[in-house]
């Protein structure tokens, strides 16, 4: 599973879709730090039921798009590889205070990180 933070998603959307310079995952996708991460399978192929809605969103229409639609379109644009993704808030100090460390790496130097190991320091 690939882990992608909302900050990274926002950066990818702004770079890939120039018409979305003010994109906010929290405001536009409803990502809430109190809720569990969004998990979805991204295939990168067309979706005839949702593509029109996404195109309208790109042009500024006030329509809702789901995280899956955004991740899938980033995949189609070549910014993400197909696979399973978890969209999370950025890791912050509360996790550090509990001794939770996520060892992650990125294959290309950008994009999502893959979760390799979880260590709990006591």
> The pTM is what?
0.71
**For 78-98, how does the pLDDT look when each residue is reduced to its tens digit (9 = 90+)?**
999 999 999 988 765 444 444
β-bridge partners, 110: none
**For 51-77, how does the pLDDT look when each residue is reduced to its tens digit (9 = 90+)?**
888 999 999 888 889 999 999 999 999
β-bridge partners, 86: 3, 39
Do residues 14 and 21 make contact, with C-beta atoms less than 8 angstroms apart?
Answer: yes
């Amino acid at each position: 599973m690939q882990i992608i933070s909302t900050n990274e998603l926002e950066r990818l959307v702004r770079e890939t879709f120039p018409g979305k310079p003010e994109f906010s995952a929290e405001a536009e996708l409803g990502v809430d730090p109190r809720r569990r991460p969004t998990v979805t399978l991204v295939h990168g192929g067309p979706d005839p039921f949702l593509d029109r809605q996404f195109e309208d969103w790109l042009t500024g229409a006030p329509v809702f798009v789901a995280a899956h639609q955004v991740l899938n379109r980033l995949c189609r644009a070549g910014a993400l590889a197909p696979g399973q993704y978890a969209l999370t808030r950025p890791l912050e100090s509360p996790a550090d205070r509990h001794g939770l460390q996520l060892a992650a790496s990125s294959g290309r130097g950008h994009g999502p990180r893959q979760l390799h190991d979880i260590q709990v320091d006591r």
